[in-house]
Structure 1
Amino acid sequence: MYQDFGQFINGQWRKGSSSEAVIVIDPGNGKPLGEIPAATAADTQEALTSAEHAFSVWKSTPAWTRADLLQEVARQMTACINDAAPLISKESGKPLAQAKREWELSIDQFIWYAEEARRIYGRIVESRVPGGRCEVLHEPVGVVAAFTAWNFPVVLVARKLAPALAAGCTVVLRPSSEVPGSAMLIFECLRKAGLPAGVANLVVGATADTYEPLITSPIVKKVSLTGSTQLGQQMIRDSAATIKRLSMELGGNAPVIVYEDADLEKALDLSVATKFANCGQVCVTCDRFYVHESRYDDFVRGFAERVSKLKVGYGLEEGTQMGPLINPRRLKAIEAIVEDARNKGARIVTGGQRIDLNGGYFYAPTVIADVPDDALAIAEENFGPIAAITSFSSSENLWRRVNSSEFALSAYAFTRDPARIRETVARLEAGMVGINSYALAAAEAPFGGIKASGMGREGGSEGIHDYMNVKLAQIVV
């Protein structure tokens, strides 16, 4: 499969020019899935040149034509869902049902932004100059360099491609080398849909050959990243010389407040399903739980009971609810977080160890109670199958504890009190807030964070504007 696709440059699949290969590993068994001849810096430069040439035509293509093409991409993706889901599962380790759902959410992105392409509205502002008028116009930024992470190998790609193409931009995408095949499937759908050559390009290879040429090139006018906060900080520094527009969805460490009046059964059912989806490797997942002392024991007990029933296994096995971590580095990181909690007096209620299964990178779904605020499980993003639970007695110092993290992507609360709902939404420091719900990621809603969790938004009507410049025309006749 990887040999058939490889690099997508100027509308064609081709092998990378490097003598080195990118080896893709199945995290469910630790075995190679395949390898890809890597792109060289020259390949990346060719992709950039292709995108630059295509931009002059694509930006002038009528919005309705761009919309029709994006709708066709969605149809092509719908037709191959049964082939796509198993590959996503094998590359990322997530259960097949979750992989299928991710592909469906990616289709939503292309459908939504096909519609948004037709709704790029400007404004007319009354001018104070006699006989004049002010026109506010929106124009595509130009060539976009997009970088995506491994935890959602298709929806992260779709979130960048769909709005960029709808806006009239051209793109060079560098997906994670751990899950490149999933991105390739989307690009094959772009090809089948008839996207003009050069409008969207894909390169896979070493950082020096694929990252550096993109981030330093004056051809690139905008950079979009989904990745770690550390990588985002580095990218800001690297792009400063050419003053690129940036949008970044970075790390998270989402708090969950469970008030004394919460529907406990609902909170538990939703929290367990959300926390251990994709083995906890989700930036907006619920990480740290602040439970009112009157419900604390029941919450911890109910959480552990539900977690103990989760089926951990290979993603393609029927009934699997949680798969492996993505690589051995994540295993070691999770072990360190759990050991830190133990050393600081927290109680491991369930889990807390590796699972020996088929040579894969499996860690037991873990519930830790009585976690102090300075433990890594609370203080930092764990990005794994760890639910850290602590208690609170009053709201006097709750907000300080909840908002103390440098991350501010998402936050959640469970309560039935309307007044408390309004106060909680107002006081939580986060780009997104869920009340009695974890459903934040949808094509029609803006997705993104504040503080160290990033800048810009993906999704919603806001998403397309991150790929557009605003131009004012003062016209006097």
Structure 2
Amino acid sequence: MATLLLGRFALNRAVNLGLTRMIGNSLNRRTMHLHQNHAFINGKWVGARSGLTFDVTNPANEQVLGTVPDMDINDVNDAIDAAHNAFYDKKWHNSTAKDRAALLKKWFQLLEKNRKEIALIMTAESGKPIAESEGEITYGNSFVEWFAEEARRVYGEIVPTPQSNRQMMLVKQPIGVAGLITPWNFPHAMITRKASAAIAAGCTVVIKPAEDTPLTALALTKLAEEAGFPKGVLNVVTSSRKNAASVGKLLCQSEKVAAISFTGSTEVGKLLYKQCANGIKRIGLELGGNAPFIVFKSADLDKAVIGAMNSKFRNCGQTCISANRFLIQDEVHDEFISRLTEKIKALKIGDGSHDGVQIGPLINHAQINKVTQFVEDAKQKGANVVLGGRQLSEHGALYFEPTIVSHLRDDMKLYREEIFGPVVSIIRFKTEEEALQIANATQRGLAGYFYSNDLNQVFRISKLLETGMIGVNEGLISAAEAAFGGIKESGIGREGSKYGIDEYVYIKYLCYGGLE
């Protein structure tokens, strides 16, 4: 394969060969055009002003996949200025919904056409199995298609007036520049879910992807460029962990940024919320979860086990809506564990680029250290490790064995905190009231799941479970049509659905007086 020359940030031959080994022979001259190592500001592919870069590595084997610019606040100011200029001076805010819809449809078509290459890039930098990457692309692309359609449905209202000589109207207008800060666990879908809604509304965007997974973001951006996005409408800045905090603070505090949308940890979300306060900036937060997964005695156990597998082990347990606490009623406790154990034993572990792999590595060393510490904490405090419980160094430094831990107590980290890993934490309960008390005894309220064939119980639990989303006899609940978001400390606002576009518009009240 020919050596890639990508400006002054050229990948050397060793890196190219490492990337090729990682994702096979699919990287040829036709498909390599999506592999970018520059950021994208004002319609141009650029490096950091400082000339600094940082490495992007493959968590499956820790090989370097490439380098991207390590941008600081000076570079991000350029991106903000570009987005602000595109919105006001180039009058993107005055573009028609029909034109924005057509542009998003073109982007969607290109995303669909290039889905295989995007999946390879995503698996290489995130570690998730290729089948899951392909699934995420279907999910992520659906938001572009959805908001292309919703762009033409941002309706206002005519309000009946109390005076006969007046006419009252409510219209919706785009709020301006939106700063989008996205996580590593869904490097495709979290960008499309936010950016397509903002652009459909008539906003411009500055996207800061996670430092672990910028290559997917840049691939999506290349296709946006090919779709014909005007200069400054979509900008992407990349930065290492060293600069992440200052970049986030600038996006929150810049007077030229009208809104922030962030998906990530509750701790970082709280900090961004504070930083937005001075400007009373519009903010959307999708934060950490601590999802209960309740199995009542009336449940269909076969369906409950399938739901548990789908909810817990997608992306190696590294999703914000993964089941975190498994509450199993006395009467079915042992049988559920037995059936679940057999399913988990059958999981294929390894490099996500290999056929049939279902469990890949965790994203980085901080994450595997956290998972290991949580399991060790439970063991030291008397929990029972039914299955797994160890790092799998024979596969690589970032692999952790799918695990079941039972006999949990409320002084254990597994009981109280989100683990973000392939660990099933079992809590036994006797009554419905006890299950609800345990499930709701947290300040997190993103998603929850329960299994029951008792119709009265289904309606009771659906009402009383304190989460923003609930899977009833279902472990996979995400869809573009659904309103995604949490309550309590799990976030503000909703993404997807007809409500997702509301995060990027404001309502203007018009009162026409003196009419005859």
Which TM-score applies when normalising by structure 1? 0.98
2:27 maps to 1:27: no
* CA shift digits 1:333-382 (9 cap, x unpaired): 01111011112221100010000135340000011112123321121101
Distance in 2, matches of 1:250 and 1:357, equals 33
Kept after mapping to 2: 8 A contact 1:313/1:357: no
Q: Is the 8 A contact 1:247 1:456 kept in 2?
A: yes
Aligned to 1:303: 340
Tell me the distance in 1 between the aligned counterparts of 2:468 and 2:98.
32
> How far does residue 26 in structure 1 lie from its aligned partner after superposition?
0.8
Shift of 1:119: 0.2
Preserved contact between residue 300 and residue 369 of structure 1 (Cα < 8 Å): no
Runs of 4+ with >3 A deviation: 1-5, 357-360
Alpha-carbon distance in 1 for matches of 2:97, 2:436: 46
The answer as to whether partners of 1:204 and 1:210 remain within 8 angstroms in 2 is: no
Q: Distance in 1 between matches of 2:69 and 2:147?
A: 33
Alignment partner, residue 26 of structure 2: none
* Selected match of 1:116 from 150, 167, 173: 150
Equivalent runs, 1:275-314 vs 2, <5 Å:
275-314=312-351
Check whether the contact 2:205–2:233 (CA below 8 A) recurs between aligned residues. Answer: yes
Number of residue equivalences:
477
1:43-83 CA-partner distances (Å, limit 9, x unpaired): 21111111001112111101011000000000010111111
Q: 1:55 aligns with which of 87, 96, 108?
A: 87
Matching residue within 125, 148, 154 for 1:91: 125
- Residue number in structure 1 paired with 2:292: 255
Question: Residue in 2 aligned with 1:367?
Answer: 404
Distance 2:498 2:459 in 1: 24
Contact 1:44–1:209 (8 Å) recurs in 2: no
Q: Could you report, residue by residue, the CA deviation over 1:286-330 in whole angstroms, capped at 9, with x for unpaired residues?
A: 111111100000011111111111111001011100100000111
Whether the 8 Å contact between 1:55 and 1:170 is mirrored in structure 2 is yes
The question of whether the paired residues in 1 share the 8 Å contact of 2:214 and 2:238 is answered with: yes
Match of 2:215 in 1: 181
1:77 is matched with which residue? 111
What are the equivalent positions in structure 2 for 1:217-228 lying under 5 Å apart?
A: 217-228=254-265
Would you say the 8 A contact 2:265–2:288 is kept in 1? yes
| Residue of structure 2 equivalent to 1:46 | 78
Superposition map of 1:5-404 within 5 A: 5-56=37-88, 57-205=91-239, 206-207=243-244, 210-404=247-441
> Does structure 1 retain, via aligned residues, the 8 Å contact 2:362–2:421?
yes
**Aligned-partner SS, 1:118:** helix
Cα distance in 1 for partners of 2:245, 2:440 equals 37
Could you state the TM-score of these two structures normalised by the residue count of structure 2?
Answer: 0.91
Output the aligned Cα RMSD.
1.3
Farther off after superposition, 339-348 or 118-127: 339-348
Deviation larger for 2-11 or 446-455: 2-11
Alpha-carbon offset, residue 473 of structure 1: 0.8
Q: CA separation in 2, counterparts of 1:254 and 1:334?
A: 17
User: Alignment partner of 2:230: what SS?
Assistant: coil
* Identical-residue share of aligned pairs (%): 36
* Secondary structure in structure 1 of the residue aligned to 2:371: helix
Shifted more, 207-216 versus 128-137: the winner is 207-216
Q: What letter corresponds to residue 166 of structure 2 in structure 1?
A: G
Partners in 1 of 2:249 and 2:51 — Cα distance?
Answer: 19
Deviates more, 1:260-269 or 1:355-364: 355-364
Deviates more, 1:269-278 or 1:330-339: 269-278
The separation in 1 between residues aligned to 2:430 and 2:72, in whole angstroms, is 58
Q: Which runs of 5+ in 2 are unaligned?
A: 10-35
The CA distance in 1 between the partners of 2:432 and 2:381, in whole Å, is 24
Give 1:255 deviation, angstroms: 0.2
**2-structure distance, mates of 1:38, 1:410:** 35
CA shift, 1:149, in A, is 0.6
Gap regions ≥5 residues in structure 1: none
**Amino acid in structure 1 at the alignment position of 2:303:** K
CA distance in 2, matches of 1:32, 1:230: 29
Contact 1:146–1:223 under 8 Å retained in 2? yes
